[in-house]
Amino acid sequence: MKRLNTQLQEDGCPLELILLIRTLLAACKEISFRVSQGALAGVLGSTLSDNVQGERQKKLDVIANHILRDILSESGYVKAVSSEEEDNVIGCHPDGKYLVSFDPLDGSSNTDVNSLIGTIFSIMHAPQWMEPDDPSAFLQPGTQQVAAGYVLYGPSTMLAMTTGRGTHLYTLDKTHGGFLVTKANVQVPEQTNEFAINSSNQRHWEEPMQSYVTDLIAGSEGPRKKDFNMRWVAAMVGDIHRVLCRGGIFAYPFDKRNPAIPGKLRLQYEANPMAFLMEQAGGLADTGHGRIMEVMPTEIHQRVPVLLGSKDEVETCLTYYR
């Protein structure tokens, strides 16, 4: 099987980006080990503090954040990092060429029940005229990403990543500690009969999404004329991985409970990297009102509605918005 380095070289990645990705994945391998120890290492459960998002932090949230922050800060390749768990950006090396944004442990509420969780990351070029701790350096649209992906901590530890030359899946071979290509140039099926959404929030959605999901649930007797299955992992990495592997649509739409917050998922740490992966695999990624990767961010913790997945199904969903 092809090694990570070989695939990155074939995709035309510059050496410094390859070294940065290897450094980031070294941190993820350490997180994978900590996750696998679970209760044996005393890392389950919550802390007594909330993060900048107003969410109660899990112990593994804090551990994963520290591992990524420290390893990337010391690498020399990174000018600054931005984490979902941090209030502000963290300046690293003044001559670093890249910016790295990450959700250190997506789906961390699943840790206590031994379900799927993962790390999501996004890499962009660093504006060299800005100071390392200037948050405006990160206010770039998703089209400026040079690499993005996630590491899924499941029965096996898997990496989904793109550098703009297709989306590839890798599996961590624990016998030698490296990631090997197990599926190159993933293509998401254009049609699907699966959807992933938190239906308990249906009463809070906008009318287009309410109507769309109602028609899905109506099945073969409804206007769609076919039966759909719903799947929901409660971790974006798990749901997106399933969509990449066998098709589907993942949605976390606008929620009217707080009109000041347009969505639950963060543009920088979740929506943009997943959109990059999905588009490189032939899928679509939209907010319901435009392409996710064309959204111009106004602050580092900005949230957006998310529709991701099989091309035909996302397009069908968007007709309800139009």
Between CA 272 and CA 274 the distance in angstroms is 6
Binding annotation = 84, 103, 105-109, 198, 264, 270
Residue 281's identity, in one-letter code, is A
Nearest CA-CA partner of 152 in 28, 318, 2, 287: 28
Q: Quick one: how far is CA 153 from the chain centroid?
A: 13
Identify the sign of the CA torsion 26, 27, 28, 29: positive
Binding-site residues for substrate, in ranges, read: 106-109, 198, 264
* Residue whose entry in the numeric block shows the structure tokens 């971790």: 235
Residues of each annotated binding site for Mg(2+): 84, 103, 105-106, 270
Quick count: other Cβ atoms within 10 Å of Cβ 282?
A: 16
Residues 6+ apart with CB under 8 A from 10: none
Alpha-carbon torsion angle 208, 305, 141, 50, nearest 10: 170
Cα 8 to Cα 18, 37, 156, 165, distances in angstroms: 7, 31, 22, 9
